[in-house]
Structure 1
Amino acid sequence: MTRWPRQFGVGDWDFGVDNGYLRGLVGYWRDGFDFEAAAQRINSIPNYLTVIDGLPIHHLHSRSAEGDATPILLLHGWPGSIVEFLEVIPKLSEPREAGKESFHVVAPSLQGFGGSPGIDEPGMSPIRIAHRIASLMEELGYERFIVHGGDWGTLVATHIASLYPERVLGLHVTLTHPIPPADVPDPMALVREHELKWLEENEFNAIDGRGYFEIQKTRPETLGFALTDSPVGWCAWVLDKFHQWTDCERDGTKDIRNAVSWDLFLTNLSLYWFTDTISSAMHFYREQYLALRSGQGTAGKVMVPTGAGIFPQEILKSPKAWMERRFPLVHWTEHPAGGHFGAMEQPGFFADDLREFARKIGG
């Protein structure tokens, strides 16, 4: 029943998603994708709903066989989900390699995403979500834990680390905001040569790839009518981000399958679709915008050990020296491959980096 727009351009994605590529992906979603198999893959990791203040939080929870293992909390962003961590979780909680320590792993759906329903009024701000997830960890019996965040998960994880320093063993992130230190006469003098390209890429993404952000922070409900009504529209909206944000270019051609399989992409896409959380997830952008306007959107100072795993195609990358002046940085890795969805694209690199960070901080 889709009303397709006319074919446009030569397929270089300069004006947006390529018509032919999208038709092929949608055709596979309709006739080839096995959602029952995808659901079984999600359910291969124990799923739970825990009610906090009358509202459930969905989470994956894989316990290590070692009772005294360190808990690790994994936080996703938009348009990702717990699907980002499906391959990482077993690597951390049930490592097959001899001699590798295991962890208790918790991966919640952020409120309004996937299995965690949103609310019917404004107020589910990132800092409120941070408090709720900290309460979830307490309910699960984890008084102290490591927290990782990517994309919006970075903000929520940073809130948790700053609000609950006595409970957070360490903060690990993959998205690093490039904020020049104010107490340095020439911040650019601290930037290493290869990091200059990072800053150029940051600027390009801000100019050429931020339209979605401005819409979602100002009128998420308006956009929600269109995307909730049209599976093809929703697919195009998310495909655009995966095409731009993943490390998917090979021999001069970009195809998301070079980074993430169509099956995994569609598992993530379908999770939003079947839980009717397309619109509520976009509220996160508006809530953070309103929180910043009220002076409550910026996370407080982080005092716990911090680590960063930098993937080359991440959309925001900070020079290391700038991060060292904002956080007690004890761990820094620059991965050879991967993009914005690092855990999804390079689960081996991601899991090894988290394990190395935990070793450094004694977790």
Structure 2
Amino acid sequence: MPADATIEPFRLHVHDRDIADLKTRLRLTRFPDQAPEAPWAFGTDLAFMHRVVEHWRDRFDWRAEEARLNAFPQFMTEIDGIPVHFLHVAGKGPNPMPLLLSHGWPGSVFEFLDIIPRLTDPARFGGDPADAFTVVAPSLPGYGLSFRPGQKRYDLAMIVAVFAELMQRLGYPRYGAQGGDWGSFITSRLACDHPDRLAGIHLNLLPLRRDTAGIDARTEDETRYLTELAHFLKENTGYQWIQGTRPQTLAYGLTDSPAGLAAWILEKFRAWSDCKGDPTSILSLDRLLGNVSFYWFTGTIGSSFWPYYARMHGPWPIGARIDVPMGYAQFPTEILKPPRSMAERVYADIRRWSVMPEGGHFAAMEQPEALAHEIAAFFRGLR
């Protein structure tokens, strides 16, 4: 592991014995029964999980997914005493703009493997080479390869400090930033803490407070959002409460059982993606399991919960009005879709607000072409 400020090239290679161990555990999966109601009514469907486990055990090729990741330049460095893994992909154009991409949970850098080429080499996809970015896509501390057992846990402010140091270390005094899920919080907090370093920020989730305070029920858009928020808080926050209060307890089951891990993660891909009830209708099982396997082989599901714990036991992470230019792409099956009137109370300079025709929470995976287009269009005037 590099020490001090050194940066070393990296390639992932999971040991054959770890792949064999995974297949053994999958063969020994002990399935629960399912309540006699509609599939998915109470969580991940049993028939779906039989299909997932069978595919993961008998047909899934981890080496192919590993090669997809290794096709991109990867590096390791040490910041604040922890390993930081990141992709650093040079843009192909006359003046590529540095762009920091931040993922969230239950995603990883695997979310970005289809969108990065569209950002770094737009001409390859029929775009303008003047829109090229040089992409830096780190694994969040505690996620994937930015982890060693027993390391300290990071809240969002600490992650922002690590990413700001990484961009400085790479020689980028000014850059753009983009994110969804926790990545949207990180990107917004970065704009709070280091506004002088950012040309602009682009989000595909709005990190606004999830309570009723400040909602104006006299307006149609905010009334609609109030109903949406009430349903979300009642029906879709159970995972936040357990991850945010007893992360260690949950980690035992999901670190020991690959079927349990897949059920926990893939339920979110079904609920949050624009898949009409079947996550494999928008993302193949191989793509879904590439991301799940990355959590499995790195043993990071427990440490990945920490932003939830820190969020529930600390202040709201975005405490100031943000003046950095902001763009937003609202995908139709995003978890929550606050109206622009609410966003304007936090973001003072909204330059682009796009309502997308299809796609969901995992936009970089689901709709890489559409999201890349939005990112390029937003930053075009900020280079």
The residue that corresponds to 1:85 in the other structure is 112
Q: Given the alignment of the two structures, is residue 337 of structure 1 paired with residue 319 of structure 2, yes or no? A: no
Whole-angstrom CA distance in 2 between matches of 1:237 and 1:180: 23
The residue that corresponds to 1:74 in the other structure is 101
* Kept after mapping to 2: 8 A contact 1:70/1:103: yes
Residues 68-217 of structure 1: pairs in structure 2 closer than 5 A: 68-95=95-122, 96=124, 97-100=126-129, 101-117=131-147, 120=150, 123-177=153-207, 187-192=216-221, 197-217=224-244
The residue that corresponds to 2:271 in the other structure is 244
Q: Given the alignment of the two structures, is residue 258 of structure 1 paired with residue 284 of structure 2, yes or no? A: no
Whole-angstrom CA distance in 2 between matches of 1:248 and 1:324: 30
Structure 1 residues 307 and 188 mapped into 2: Cα distance closer, same or farther (>3 Å)? farther
The residue that corresponds to 2:343 in the other structure is 323
The residue that corresponds to 1:356 in the other structure is 377
Q: Secondary structure, in 3 states, of the residue corresponding to 1:120?
A: coil
* Kept after mapping to 2: 8 A contact 1:201/1:315: no
CA RMSD of the aligned region, Å?
2.1
In structure 2, which of residues 315, 329, 334 is the aligned counterpart of residue 309 of structure 1? Answer: 329
Shift of 1:187: 2.3
Shift of 1:118: 5.5
* Kept after mapping to 2: 8 A contact 1:177/1:316: no
Structure 1 residues 129 and 118 mapped into 2: Cα distance closer, same or farther (>3 Å)? farther
Identity %: 39
Kindly provide the CA deviation profile for residues 280-318 of structure 1, in whole angstroms up to 9, marking residues without a partner as x.
1012211222332xxx73343311001111001000211
Shift of 1:64: 1.0
Q: Secondary structure, in 3 states, of the residue corresponding to 2:60?
A: coil
The residue that corresponds to 1:289 in the other structure is 312
Shift of 1:191: 4.3
In structure 2, which of residues 301, 310, 329 is the aligned counterpart of residue 278 of structure 1? Answer: 301
Shift of 1:170: 0.7
Whole-angstrom CA distance in 2 between matches of 1:351 and 1:248: 20
Letter paired with 1:188:
A
Gaps of 5+ in 2: 1-27
Structure 1 residues 174 and 34 mapped into 2: Cα distance closer, same or farther (>3 Å)? same
Whole-angstrom CA distance in 1 between matches of 2:293 and 2:240: 21
The residue that corresponds to 2:22 in the other structure is none
Whole-angstrom CA distance in 1 between matches of 2:84 and 2:329: 27
Whole-angstrom CA distance in 1 between matches of 2:73 and 2:319: 31
Whole-angstrom CA distance in 2 between matches of 1:94 and 1:276: 33
Letter paired with 1:63:
A
Shift of 1:120: 2.8
Structure 1 residues 181 and 151 mapped into 2: Cα distance closer, same or farther (>3 Å)? closer
* Kept after mapping to 2: 8 A contact 1:191/1:319: no
* Kept after mapping to 2: 8 A contact 1:130/1:156: yes
Letter paired with 2:199:
L
Q: Secondary structure, in 3 states, of the residue corresponding to 1:336?
A: coil
Gaps of 5+ in 1: none
Q: Given the alignment of the two structures, is residue 228 of structure 1 paired with residue 258 of structure 2, yes or no? A: no
Shift of 1:116: 0.5
Whole-angstrom CA distance in 1 between matches of 2:370 and 2:159: 28
Structure 1 residues 162 and 119 mapped into 2: Cα distance closer, same or farther (>3 Å)? farther
* Kept after mapping to 1: 8 A contact 2:245/2:309: yes
